[in-house]
Amino acid sequence: MTQALRLGIAGLGTVGAGLVRIVQDNADLLSARTGRDIVITAISARDKNRDRGVDLSSYEWVDNTAALAARDDVDVVVELIGGSEGTALDLVSAALTNGKDVVTANKALLAHHGYKLATLAEKNNVALTYEAAVAGGIPIIKGLREGLAANRITAVYGILNGTCNYILTVMRETGRDFDDVLAEAQELGYAETDPTFDVDGIDAGHKLAILGAIAFGVKPNFSDLKMTGIRQINATDIAFATELGYRIKLLGIAKNIDGKKVQVLEPCLVPESSELGAVDFATNAVYVAGDHIGQTLFTGPGAGAGPTASAVMADIVDLARGVKHPVFNIPASQLGSSDWDNLDDTQGLYYLRLNVIDKPGVIADVSAILRDHNISIESLIQRVRDPDQAVPLVMTTHETRHGDMMAAVTEIEKLAAIAEKPCLIRIEDL
């Protein structure tokens, strides 16, 4: 048998403890599947004394996390600290420089520094893998990089943040508004005390930047990513979406459309009968379209100790088997520009909800602006009548140039009869 693969684990939060549990529970299986033992030699985290529910007594505790990068008894540094800068970045950089393979679950790190780290890994002829960074337990990185390697990818759509999907699902099922459901999710531990990373789309954006890079062979670009979270989605929009046969999902999208390569993260309407429309609560999903495969969907748990650690271990198993891939599927030097095209020249369908003062002539004014921007209305709903009060006016459009849609909304917003900021949501007719 080949000698054991020796892990040094940095970070012993939920995922770190989950990984220790897999190493302990499934040692026999892992050894049969890789032809060698997978062992933990050294561990490091902030608080040595915290009870993590796993026996850590046989691993050497390292106070200075950075030291893991230089240990002779560590083949693979497993970075589970998180955060795009600081200890995580320093550790990963040092480990790669020292010729150690690195496995990480850190989406922020990859989204911000992926290209630099990929270059460093290749220079040192080591692996940098991150199955757990996107969609938790779902083996989507492997799926894209290997399972669908035959294909020119045309589109990736991901439900990449379980907290947002949970909130949107509960809003739909109960009719309650965002703030209310968020507060409950925080109480139940499904959302963080500071929910910004989740509900404003940053976490999903990190993941999208990684998926976009692998799918399209480009440098990951998070800083230019247009992101819209779910704070502005209200119970009215959810109800109208349902009435129209749609679900609202926060989608990370990277696709080739109308000759443009675009990347955007925003809430979208997807048909309730579509596979993505059926993905509820904290479940994540990634839909991939390619030139030969057609379409395929991967769904599963997007977070949690077991699922995330399962993905971390998938990377470790690859390394134990001697399998290494370029970080973003092709050599870093061959990665394309990180520039994505502007959305303006792409065509799309839109849902637009206006809050209008119920006065004669409002619909005529709105319709005229839409007409002047070549926007054709597919359906229009104004059900509530309440003279001189604000009532919702909802419409969906036929295929429309994005730039035209944005310009029309800017103009509509200036009408005196518009009582609040219009809500514009892209419809993805998957």
Strand bridging mode 423-427 / 347-357: antiparallel
Q: Which of 71, 112, 113, 142 binds a second copy (CB under 8 A)?
A: 142
Note whether 293 binds a second copy by CB under 8 A: yes
Non-local (6+) Cβ contacts of 49 within 8 A are: none
Yes or no: say if 210 and 110 are a contact pair by the CB < 8 Å rule. Answer: yes
Based on CB atoms, which residue is closest to a second copy, 29 or 183? Answer: 29
Site for a second copy, residues 105 to 134, rule: CB under 8 A:
131
Rule CB under 8 A: say whether 173 interacts with a second copy: no
Binding mask 332-371 for a second copy (x = CB under 8 A): --x-------------------------------------
Nearer to a second copy, 292 or 385 (CB): 292
| Residues ≥6 apart with Cβ < 8 Å to 77 | 8, 10, 68, 69, 91, 92, 95, 100, 101, 102, 103
Is residue 14 a contact point for a second copy (CB under 8 A)?
no
The 3-state DSSP class for residue 79 equals strand
329 binding a second copy? (CB under 8 A): yes
- Residue 324 burial (C-beta neighbours within 10 Å; 0-12, 13-18, 19+): middle
Taking CB under 8 A as the criterion, the residue among 24, 25, 196, 398 binding a second copy is 25
207 is catalytic: yes
Please pick, from the candidates 314, 381, 390, 407, the single residue that binds a second copy as defined by CB under 8 A: 314
Of residues 46, 48, 123, 152, which one binds a second copy by CB under 8 A? 152
Helix/strand/coil for 381: strand
Contact 155, 430 (CB under 8 A): no
State the minimum distance, in angstroms, from the CB of residue 211 to a second copy. Answer: 15
Beta-carbon neighbour count of residue 161 at 10 Å? 30
Taking the complex as a whole, how short is the minimal distance between the CB of residue 20 and a second copy, in angstroms? 12
Four-CA torsion 100, 105, 110, 115, nearest 10 degrees: 30
Which residues sit opposite 429 in a β-bridge?
Answer: none
What are the residues whose beta carbons fall under 8 Å from the beta carbon of 124, sequence distance 6 or more? 96, 97, 98, 99
Q: How far is the CB of 132 from a second copy (least distance, A)?
A: 10
- Residue with smaller CB distance to a second copy, 299 or 397: 299
User: Under a CB-based contact definition with an 8 Å cutoff, are residues 115 and 220 in contact?
Assistant: yes
Please report whether residue 291 would count as binding a second copy according to CB under 8 A: yes
Q: State which of positions 260-279 bind a second copy (CB under 8 A).
A: 275, 278
Catalytic residue among 107, 142, 207, 249: 207
In 3D space, the residue among 182, 108, 160 whose CA is nearest the CA of residue 268 turns out to be: 160
Distances in Å between the Cα of 166 and the Cα atoms of 63, 118, 201, 271 are: 37, 33, 14, 18
Contact yes or no for 130/102 (Cβ under 8 A): no
CA–CA separation, 89 vs 87, rounded Å?
A: 6
Distance, CA of 19 to CA of 85 (rounded, Å): 23
Q: List the one residue from 54, 235, 297, 415 that touches a second copy (CB under 8 A).
A: 297
In the complex with a second copy, which residue's Cβ is closer, 39 or 138?
Answer: 138
180 class by beta-carbon count within 10 Å (0-12 exposed, 13-18 middle, 19+ buried): middle
Binds a second copy by CB under 8 A, chosen from 83, 183, 294, 420: 294
Q: How far is the CB of 170 from a second copy (least distance, A)?
A: 16
Both tokens of 223, joined, read: 């800083």
> Scanning residues 63 to 92, which ones bind a second copy (CB under 8 A)?
none
Using the rule CB under 8 A, is 183 a contact of a second copy? no
Which one among 3, 32, 72, 414 touches a second copy, defined by CB under 8 A? Answer: 32
Minimum distance from residue 249 beta carbon to a second copy (Å) = 15
For a second copy, the closer of residues 249 and 373 by Cβ is 249
Build a one-symbol-per-residue string for 215-244: x at contacts with a second copy by CB under 8 A, - elsewhere. Answer: --x---------------------------
Q: Which of 163, 299, 397, 400 binds a second copy (CB under 8 A)?
A: 299
Among 5, 138, 225, 412, binds a second copy (CB under 8 A): 138
Point out the residues that are catalytic: 207
Q: Which residues bind a second copy (CB under 8 A)?
A: 18, 21-22, 25-26, 29-30, 32-35, 131, 137-139, 142-143, 146-152, 217, 275, 278, 290-301, 304, 306-307, 309-314, 317-318, 321, 323, 325, 329-331, 334
